[in-house]
Structure 1
Amino acid sequence: MHRLFEASLSSMKTQLPPGVRITDKFPGYITHSIDVTYRLKRHEIGLKGTYMTTGGKIAYSDYSGKYHETLTLNGFRVGALYRFHFLRTQIGNLPFSLYGEISPAVTFTGLKYDALLDLPDYDVHETNPNDNVSTDETGFSIQPLIAGQLLVTRNIFISCSAGYDFEFGAKLSTINNQLRVDWSGFRGNLGLGFMF
């Protein structure tokens, strides 16, 4: 779901210890979104904000010392949205509608880098020895999805949606290479909303 392309761990000059591996695919976690919209008949417009996070770590320690390197990525997606309610019906006595949504957005990506090399026998204790990564970049994305909305009271509704976020990723520059941050991926959402 979240990937860093063309990444190299420049601080690891030798062969990796047993049980340690380098990966360019960071795990996907739950994202959090909030929408504020205005609805007029079948049309709905508004703003959408999303928080995303992922990360990776490489670490090793033995009698001679320890080493760890951690990358944490945070993304804030801020954009507009347009919804069209193409089907309105009822489930029992509860109003239900199906709609399509399109949401273009700007994504602000922040990278936190942390590293430690500790070799007591050689009097080596370095924190962030290769802290040469730019920490903030901006990308763009577009997210189409289809969703259903069930009004359970006069003001409260439950929504469920599925779609895909196409990210035109930001590039974080280092001295030797570029890390391409790609937040693209499937989005399945379950939400609770309030209507005024």
Structure 2
Amino acid sequence: MKRILLFICLVLSAVRFGQAQSLTVEYNIGHGSYQMSEMKDRLKDLALPVVNAQTTDKFPGYVTQDTRIGIEWKRNHAGVLFNYMNTAGKKGVADYSGHCNYELHNKGYKLGAFYRFRLTKEELGIFTFEPYVQLSSGVVLTRGKELYSLFIESAPESSNQSKNKYSGTNIFLEPTFGIKFGLCRNIALNLSVGYEWDAVKEDCQLGNPKSPLPVEVDWSGYRAQAGLVFYLNLKK
């Protein structure tokens, strides 16, 4: 939150003193991989009250959505970001006699700021080619659900269900390399590849609320994105 407030002050200062050249709104969609080592260990070590239980999902990579608002001046570009991620882990078994399932659903909401430095700008006919390096930082707010269900066809009275919600906050750093292709004065295509590193991870509490098990939700992993940047020129 302090970073966001600082950025707002910088934006106002840049506009006030005539440095800002463009206001940008950016939307990217991409794919992320997630480390989730302790979450994977939780699935692996969990003993369910049935035989032949298998782990079917191990927190696979999935689609990410990313929105950024910023200002651009000279070779610099800075702003705030919001990013959404989700993944899940599942273990269980199901057949004619019933089913037993254990699931962990994780959603991650990234809030932070970014700084982007343009390495060069080349003209390609009516288009422009702009490679850049970028550093993003902020927090990841984890919101998750732990679900357990047991159903026995021959003894429905023995069926059981439980749900536990958990949350945590991580601090991340994400270096990125990207390229912007200017399509016209007000629109550019953006392509980028980066790596998110969760430098500080807060434990989430799983299991029995009376004796919870602390587990880290580690969103670290590679990020690949593509999207569009829209420009509102602040100088004529």
Instruction: Sort the TM-score into its range (normalised by shorter chain).
Output: 0.7 to 0.9
Q: For each residue in 1:106-146, what CA deviation from the matched residue of structure 2 results, as whole angstroms up to 9, or x when unmatched?
A: 00001112221112433212111xx4x55111001000111
Change (3 A) 1:150 1:62: closer
Structure 2 counterpart SS, 1:87: coil
Q: Which residue of 1 aligns with 2:204?
A: 172
What residue ranges of structure 1 are gaps of 5+ in the alignment?
none
Identity of aligned residues (%): 27
Name the structure where strand makes up a greater proportion of residues: 1
Q: Which residue of 2 aligns with 1:27?
A: 60
Q: Which residue of 1 aligns with 2:102?
A: 69
Q: Which residue of 2 aligns with 1:7?
A: 42
Name the structure where helix makes up a greater proportion of residues: 2
- 8 Å contact 1:109–1:170 — kept in the other structure? no
Farther-moved stretch of structure 1 (154-163 vs 62-71): 62-71
Q: Which residue of 1 aligns with 2:229?
A: 193
- Alignment RMSD (CA, Å): 2.1
Instruction: Write the distance in 2 (CA, Å) between the matches of 1:42 and 1:79.
Output: 21
What residue ranges of structure 2 are gaps of 5+ in the alignment?
1-32
Relative contact order (C-alpha < 8 Å, sep 6+): which is higher? 2
AA aligned opposite 1:50:
N
Out of 72, 75, 79, which is 1:46 matched to?
Answer: 79
Q: Which residue of 2 aligns with 1:56?
A: 89
1:150 aligns with 2:181: yes
Change (3 A) 1:62 1:187: closer
How many residues align? The count is 190
Cα deviation, residue 30, structure 1: 1.3
1:127 aligns with 2:161: yes
Q: Which residue of 2 aligns with 1:103?
A: 136
Cα deviation, residue 63, structure 1: 3.7
Instruction: Write the distance in 2 (CA, Å) between the matches of 1:136 and 1:34.
Output: 23
Instruction: Write the distance in 2 (CA, Å) between the matches of 1:63 and 1:152.
Output: 57
1:80 aligns with 2:131: no
TM-score normalised according to structure 1 size: 0.87
Change (3 A) 1:63 1:189: closer
Q: Which residue of 1 aligns with 2:218?
A: 182
TM-score normalised according to structure 2 size: 0.73
- 8 Å contact 2:56–2:91 — kept in the other structure? no
Structure 2 counterpart SS, 1:121: coil
AA aligned opposite 2:177:
I
